[in-house]
Amino acid sequence: MRVLIVLPPFIPVQAIENTVKQILNDVEITTSTDFKSRDSEVLVATTFTPVDEQLLKKLPNLRYVQIASTGYDNVDLEVLKKREIILCNIPTANKESVAEHVIAMALAQLKNLFHFHSEILKGNWPFLTNSTELMGKTFGIVGMGAIGRRLAERLLFFGTNTVYYDPVKLSEEDEEVLGVRYHDLNQLISASDIISLHVPLTDTNSKMISAEEFKKMKEGAIFINTARGELVDEKALINASKTRGIRPCIDVYEIEPPDPKSELFTLENAIFSPHIAGVTVESQQRFISETVANVLKYTQGIQPLYRVL
């Protein structure tokens, strides 16, 4: 069974090729989709490659698409459905990385770390602080997939009051194990000191956090987005930060890389990172191993994990 792997050019292709070709037979690895046609039955791609109609037309024998990522909004689902092509993702490999990144951002805001770092570099020595503790804060998790659950597990050790919203309510047993309580989205937004988004981008939830939602947040609330930039109305976020002291922690942007001259980057109470919350040495190793294992299952006639379509 022929396998085509499309990787972005900044990934160490040779190292991955050395690993993959020890496990899978008949594999082609490329960093470009600028080809006329391939007879591959399996396609492996990251979110950096649009798996759109243009690419899929070049793969007439395609039966299975494996996205080496949690997100798969780069995939044309309608074309896959029409051609009855299987789609799987890897939703668990970066759950630890993202959960830790979210907690790091929250702590940096609560402890005013960037402010103190800046003051020290200026030669100042602040004696007073308005730093606060994570313990006892109401932490709202929007989306309880693999990452949301892992975040909730980590927050158990910090003594937070953790609430969550998800279209599918957890069982009472799972809620008890994770130490979480269900709120509808409006309840969560108004009750939380810290809000973190962990939902996939769909056709129906673009700008799910907009001006109305920011108005319902507590003044000075910490708002964290490591999911997708399109989930948030950026202009509304900027306004809420300036008028209500909302403290943004942003890892994802509607256009990436974002415009460095954007008004977003003038906010003094914000923390930014370059869509890297899920990227650690360990998580990338897990993505590679779990992706290869899933493809191997499919090529051997075994049902692959994490099937989306």
Average pLDDT over residues 120-131: 93
Using the predicted structure, report yes or no on whether residue 303 has a pLDDT greater than 90.
yes
pLDDT at residue number 25? 84
pLDDT at residue number 86? 98
Q: Give how far Cα 247 sits from Cα of 112, 136, 205, 216, Å.
A: 11, 18, 22, 14
Structure tokens at 87: 């789609």
How sure is the predictor about 55, in pLDDT bands with cuts at 50, 70 and 90? very high
pLDDT at residue number 13? 82
Which of 94, 149, 130 has the alpha carbon at shortest distance from 276? 94
Structure tokens at 209: 């956090």
Number of residues assigned to the chain: 309
Model pLDDT for residues 206-264, shown as the tens digit of each residue: 999 999 999 999 999 999 999 999 999 999 999 999 999 999 999 999 999 999 999 99
Percent of the chain with pLDDT over 90: 89
Place of tokens 């939902």: 199
Which of 192, 89, 189 has the alpha carbon at shortest distance from 147? 89
pLDDT at residue number 94? 95
State the chain's maximal CA–CA distance in angstroms: 68
Amino acid occupying residue 137 = K
Model pLDDT for residues 107-118, shown as the tens digit of each residue: 999 999 999 999
Q: Please give the domain boundaries of the chain with CATH numbers for all domains.
A: 3-93+281-299 (3.40.50.720), 95-272 (3.40.50.720)
Q: What are phi and psi of 176, to 5 degrees?
A: -70, -45
Catalytic entry in 101, 183, 228, 247: 228
CA 12 – CA 72 distance, rounded (Å): 22
Q: For residue 95, how many other CB atoms are within 10 A of its CB?
A: 23
pLDDT at residue number 16? 84
Report the mean per-residue pLDDT for the chain.
95
Give the global pTM. Answer: 0.90
256 is an active site residue: yes
Q: What are phi and psi of 193, to 5 degrees?
A: -85, -30
Terminal C-alpha separation, the chain: 20
Question: Is there a contact between 145 and 91 (Cβ–Cβ < 8 Å)?
Answer: yes
Structure tokens at 134: 């994570």
Relative to beta strand 27-30, strand 3-6 is parallel
Q: Which helix (H) or strand (E) holds 194?
A: strand 194-197
275 is an active site residue: yes
Average pLDDT over residues 293-302: 95
How sure is the predictor about 128, in pLDDT bands with cuts at 50, 70 and 90? confident
Which of 55, 206, 174, 58 has the alpha carbon at shortest distance from 67? 55
Using the predicted structure, report yes or no on whether residue 10 has a pLDDT greater than 90.
no
83 is an active site residue: no
Average pLDDT over residues 168-193: 98
How sure is the predictor about 271, in pLDDT bands with cuts at 50, 70 and 90? very high
Provide the CB-side half-sphere exposure for 238 (13 A, CA).
Answer: 9
Tell which phi-psi region holds residue 298, choosing left (phi > 0), alpha (psi between -120 and 50) or beta. alpha
Catalytic entry in 28, 53, 212, 256: 256
List of residues 6+ apart from 303 with CB closer than 8 A: 297
How sure is the predictor about 3, in pLDDT bands with cuts at 50, 70 and 90? very high
Helices (H), the chain: 13-20, 53-57, 77-83, 95-110, 113-121, 146-155, 172-178, 185-191, 211-216, 234-244, 281-299
CA 196 – CA 179 distance, rounded (Å): 16
Structure tokens at 22: 């020890």
Average pLDDT over residues 145-161: 97
